[in-house]
Amino acid sequence: MPCRDAPEQSKGVGTEFHGFMDLPREIRDMVYAYRLVRGSVFLPNAAGGHVVIYGRWRTRDYYRQPYGRYAGLPADWGEGYASGQHIGLISGVSKTIHQEAAPLFYGGNRFVFPYGNTDFASCYDRVRLPWYHDYFDMMRDISITFDMRDQDDQATDLECRYHSGPGPDEYDDEDAVPPGTSTSMQLDYMVRLHREKNSTVETQYDERLRHTVGMTLDRLQLSFEECYCGLGCCRKVNYVLDNLCLLSHWEVRPPKLIEVFGWNNETERERIEQELKGLTLDGEPIPVRFVGKSMTEVRTDSRAAERRRLQAEGQIPPDLQAQGDTV
């Protein structure tokens, strides 16, 4: 039996640890790595004040196939996320511990940047390390996408004028063409709208590339699934590649490895390989890996799977079933 006079043990005794900073740095680094190195960190999107809810349609293509860059994404990631909420480092620790742990967190994980504007406030602690640029300098493995949805969701001035129409005395050749006008005017409007949308998305692509060449990366993942102009009618992969190769003045060095997701077909793959050969490290071309399937293969597989599903459910007449996938 325990002694009645024994003092009552206070809560937490035996669960607290003091003297962590007295441990050798190698041991402290092992603790940091165990807690912070998780493989992939999916950064939230803050474009227009709306946060991306990962795990829904924004991480999948038209055929509901997940984009390869989101491998490992928890199905409920982002649910209830508030803009500015910290997503990675240990909270409630000293500045010294925070500064020691940061290189392991940012250097040991793959950071997946969403389309649109990243919620950078979630990436760093303004109190302990106020300059988020220092955090980007620590990153060694990132995944970026060039997505037509990078543009702002708000309608352009040209679109607003098109839908509202100018006043009776306002119309001239420079105004948006109101509905119901001649075909030539409608075509002229579409040309100008395409130019405006194209300029907007190119500006976003350029900004992303400028940030990338300032980083010292071991691996760079490029995602091209939705790499189109602002209207979605033409591919912009060539534009991205041309500018990436022109920005050859990497501040420290180019990536040691480049991985590519979402190329459209074999022709585009060859074009990507040819362009990226211009990037070298220590006089040797940077290795380029193509991950997953081309978008053409994804479309073919998805259509075949849908056809098999309809056949199994008896929704395709027997005479059409006999004609196979050519129908």
Question: Cα separation of 126 and 104, whole Å?
Answer: 18
Question: Cα separation of 308 and 144, whole Å?
Answer: 34
Q: Are 258 and 223 in contact (CB under 8 A)?
A: no
| Alpha helix positions (H), 88-176 | 95-108, 132-138, 157-164
Strand order in the sheet with 40-42: 40-42, 110-112, 141-145, 219-223, 257-261, 288-290
Give the distance between the most distant pair of CA atoms in the chain.
99
Q: What's the pLDDT score for residue 174?
A: 46
In a domain, 51, yes or no: yes
Total structural domains within the chain:
1
Q: What's the pLDDT score for residue 62?
A: 77
Q: Strand, helix or coil at 299?
A: helix
Q: What's the pLDDT score for residue 130?
A: 46
Q: Are 136 and 215 in contact (CB under 8 A)?
A: yes
Q: What's the pLDDT score for residue 135?
A: 79
In DSSP notation, 201-234 reads HHHHHHHHHHHHHTS--SEEEEE-TT-B-TTSSS
In a domain, 3, yes or no: no
The pair of structure tokens assigned to 213 is 């060449």
Q: Are 286 and 219 in contact (CB under 8 A)?
A: no
In a domain, 2, yes or no: no
Residues 6+ apart with CB under 8 A from 113: 43, 142, 143, 144, 145, 208
In a domain, 270, yes or no: yes
Q: What's the pLDDT score for residue 143?
A: 94
DSSP code of 168? T
In a domain, 4, yes or no: no
> Residue-wise over 235-250: b if at least 16 C-beta within 10 A, else e?
ebbebbbebbeebeeb
Q: What's the pLDDT score for residue 119?
A: 58
Q: Is the dihedral of CA 77, 82, 86, 90 positive or negative?
A: negative
Query: In which residue are the tokens 């053409």 written?
Result: 296
Residues 6+ apart with CB under 8 A from 144: 113, 208, 212, 220, 221, 222, 223
Q: Strand, helix or coil at 257?
A: strand
The pair of structure tokens assigned to 214 is 């300032």
pTM over cut 0.85: no
Residue 14, Ramachandran bin (φ over 0: left; ψ between -120 and 50: alpha; else beta) = left
| DSSP strands (E only) in 43-192 | 110-112, 141-145
Query: In which residue are the tokens 């928890």 written?
Result: 74
Q: How far apart are the first and last CA of the chain?
A: 83
In a domain, 7, yes or no: no
Query: In which residue are the tokens 């990631």 written?
Result: 77
In a domain, 222, yes or no: yes
Per-residue confidence in pLDDT tens, the chain, 327 aa: 444 444 455 555 555 667 888 899 999 999 999 988 988 888 876 654 545 555 556 777 777 778 888 888 877 666 555 555 566 666 667 778 888 888 898 899 999 888 876 655 555 554 444 445 577 888 999 999 998 887 755 545 555 544 444 444 444 444 454 555 567 777 888 888 888 888 888 988 988 888 888 889 999 999 999 999 888 889 999 999 988 887 557 888 889 999 999 999 999 999 999 999 888 888 889 999 999 999 999 889 888 888 888 888 777 665 555 555 444
In a domain, 6, yes or no: no
What is the extent of the structural domain holding 144?
Answer: 20-326
